[in-house]
Structure 1
């Protein structure tokens, strides 16, 4: 059974501005994500793609996208794809940690992708690593994050 988040996405992605509406709904549920103005462009069980505009509000002192804004994009992607992938009837999840690599200056709009390999045999009290890759508009990888999600069985 799909998560409620994935059901909503499947229902509204076809509407005009459907991806924008869905992204706004995610930000309403977790308001801090709104600070980066994300747009989720694809969501399925095991995969998400999202975009983040390069704008002054997320810049650091040298005029590039701030490290924490990139972390925010990575956590958004990892959380939403985990929610869309973990079987909601039997398991729940929470972020546990994140390791990041800043590979290049992020000075354009950004595109992120996270993939959870499927099929997966979901266990109780397991850590899964959700890798998130972030690219600039030229397709150059500028950032990588490994987000650790703690998965537990519902009691």
Structure 2
């Protein structure tokens, strides 16, 4: 289990801290790993192998000129979800780096957004080279506002 996944289990599993506060603590710590994540004020709602869910609140700091959540803020949320998923899923003998992102903006992001990243375990079992991660962002009413793929480059760690 990776350090990120261990931190998730620790912060969300403590009875004194509780799930809600633990998720907040984890989200703050994870956003410091890549400080630009903090710009969207993310909240990690779920993290497990092959899945991560990140909530982006709609607030002035992430809005564009028409008052919707900016496309780059959405991509930032998708990348954070992908990174959480990758850290929680990758075998200890492998390493990963993002290689590219292809997304479609399918509707206006007029509310808070839930960004998710998903893979299938089989992808990681044989991972070497390209590994596509499915990503999407959804409005409060269930409308998909952004969807696509983030491609990872997965290689074996040097001995």
TM bin (shorter chain): over 0.9
RMSD: 1.0
Are residue 145 (structure 1) and residue 143 (structure 2) matched? no
Q: Is the 8 A contact 1:99 1:147 kept in 2?
A: yes
Q: Superposition pairs for residues 4-153 of structure 1, below 5 Å? A: 4-14=3-13, 15-16=17-18, 17-88=21-92, 90-119=93-122, 120-124=124-128, 126-153=129-156
Runs ≥4 in structure 1, deviation > 4 angstroms? Answer: none
SS in 1 for 2:4: helix
Of the three residues 135, 153, 157, the one matched with 1:154 is 157
Structure 2: tracts of 5 or more residues without a match: none
**CA distance in 1: counterparts of 2:24 and 2:127, whole angstroms:** 34
Determine which structure has the larger helix proportion and give its number.
Answer: 2
Residues 5-24 of structure 1, C-alpha deviation per residue, up to 9 Å, x if partnerless? 00110111133300010000
**CA distance in 1: counterparts of 2:126 and 2:143, whole angstroms:** 33
**CA distance in 2: counterparts of 1:123 and 1:111, whole angstroms:** 27
**CA distance in 2: counterparts of 1:46 and 1:25, whole angstroms:** 21
Residues 52-72 of structure 1, C-alpha deviation per residue, up to 9 Å, x if partnerless? 000011111111110100010
Q: TM-score, normalised by structure 1?
A: 0.94
Structure 1: tracts of 5 or more residues without a match: none
Q: TM-score, normalised by structure 2?
A: 0.92
